[in-house]
Amino acid sequence: MTLTRLRLRDFRCFEQLDWYPGERWTLISGENASGKTSLLEAIFFLGRGRSFRTARNEKLIRTGAQAFELVGDIHSDRNHRLGVRRAARESRWRLDGRDLRRMADIANVFPVLSIDTGAQVMIEGGPENRRRFLDWGLFHVEQGFMQVWRRYRQALAQRNGAIRGRLNERAIATWDQAVADAGEQLDACRQRQVRRLAGVFESMAASALGVDGVVLSYQSGWKEGLPLAEALQRNRASDIRMGHTLSGPHRAELQIRVKGAPARERVSRGQQKMLAACLLLSGARVFEEERQRGVVVLVDDLPSELDRVHAARFAELLATVQGQCFITGIESERLVSLAPEGSTLFHVEQGGLVPVQA
């Protein structure tokens, strides 16, 4: 999977740009607020339909413009052209000359993973961040996952609607089996993904942190050993009192523990960043093993937040990922020192990119 060309128009600080990145590692240097992160953000948007920096898409439009446009030439099984025009309230996506309606179609063409300065939320943030990471991986490695996920979300929404509508217990119970059937299928998918991730992640974490006892585990979101239908029945009165369903995969937790305790209680903030990076990289490795192709990995300024020892260890782990990598940083010399030979270096200045001899 390779992004061979990227064209921007009116995206963030870039009025217009036509860019040919490197085939393997592309390094992007520049001062703070120069636009280097915006380039990664454009690539991420092209693959995910959203930003990793803001939930407000109108902020991505260059000041004074009405819309932004992104067009990427992508080489995977064959050559593709993926493009989007995004105005404040609407967007239009096209792939190889035809309109696209579903983000699932877009994400499948151009899988992208971001390791940015906010990655630490994977360790110290709420469980929804880790569930989202699990589901991203499952979307790409299990063909029927999206149908299962949608069925569960729809059944859960119906049950919660019945609870909020203050319907009687009998009416609420009519949704229990639909929630339970889809929920247990979703849980089984996630259990399989955790098994795929665990060995890779735990090995990476031991290498990166130099500590033993890092364990990845999963809690389903209801009492262990109890069928979900029975958990829903037992907790129905509590659900009515609280106003929503308290049992199910929407309450699941992907846990990272170090020597038996939650990681955030055992390791430093710098080590937490390394753990988060290892978790995300393990997702890239599982993707490669299951799909036999690479994922595009975006690394935004993370080396500057790590000391030289941990930055070097991170670079070694990143080099084990087969896909195309984009890495930003302030100091070009430090980027080059971390990257393998043959990497391509660019410098961002005045809304443009200048190639630099690495």
CA distances 125 to 42, 174, 353, Å, are 25, 35, 35
Mean pLDDT for the stretch of residues 97-121: 86
Q: Are 117 and 299 in contact (CB under 8 A)?
A: no
Judge whether 106 and 47 are in contact, CB under 8 Å: yes
* 319-353 residue pLDDT tens: 999 899 999 999 899 899 999 988 999 999 877 89
Computed on alpha carbons and rounded to an integer, the radius of gyration of the chain in Å comes to 22
The answer on whether 32 is annotated among ligand-binding residues is yes
Q: Print burial letters for 309-333: b (CB count within 10 Å at least 16), e (below 16).
A: ebbebbbebbeebbbbbbbbbeebe
Q: How far is CA 62 from the centre of its chain?
A: 25
**How high does pLDDT run on average in the chain?**
92
DSSP assignment, residue 11?
Answer: E
Helix (H) or strand (E) holding 180: helix 176-209
| Contact in structure between 173 and 233 (CB atoms under 8 Å) | yes
Q: Name all domains of the chain by residue range, CATH numbers in brackets.
A: 1-111+295-358 (3.40.50.300), 120-293 (1.20.1050.90)
pLDDT in tens, 265-321: 888 888 888 999 999 999 999 999 999 888 999 999 866 777 888 888 899 999 999
Is the pLDDT higher at 25 or at 55?
25
The kind and range of the H/E element at 150 are helix 145-164
The torsion angles phi and psi of 33, rounded to 5 degrees, stand at 65, 15
Contacts of 274 by beta carbon, 8 Å cutoff, 6+ apart:
205, 208, 209, 306, 310, 313, 314
The pLDDT, as a whole number, for residue 303 is: 64
Q: How confident is the model at residue 166 (pLDDT cuts 50, 70, 90)?
A: confident
More confident residue, 125 or 219: 219
User: If you search the block for the tokens 């190889």, which residue do you land on?
Assistant: 96
Find out whether 33 is annotated in a ligand binding site: yes
Model pLDDT, residue 315: 92
- Residue 34 known to bind ligand: yes
Q: What is the pLDDT of residue 87?
A: 94
Percent of the chain predicted with pLDDT > 70: 99
Confirm whether residue 125 is marked as ligand binding. Answer: no
Per-residue pLDDT, 358: 65
Res. 195: pLDDT tops 80? yes
Q: 65 labelled as ligand-binding?
A: no
Whether 328 has a binding-site annotation, put simply, is no
pLDDT band at 13 (very low <50, low <70, confident <90, very high): very high
- Rounded to whole angstroms, the Cα distance separating 206 from 109 reads 33
- The model's pTM: 0.92
> Tens digit of pLDDT for each residue in 201-245?
999 999 888 888 899 999 999 999 999 999 999 999 999 999 999
The verdict on whether residue 35 carries a ligand-binding annotation is yes
Residue 22 among known ligand-binding residues = no
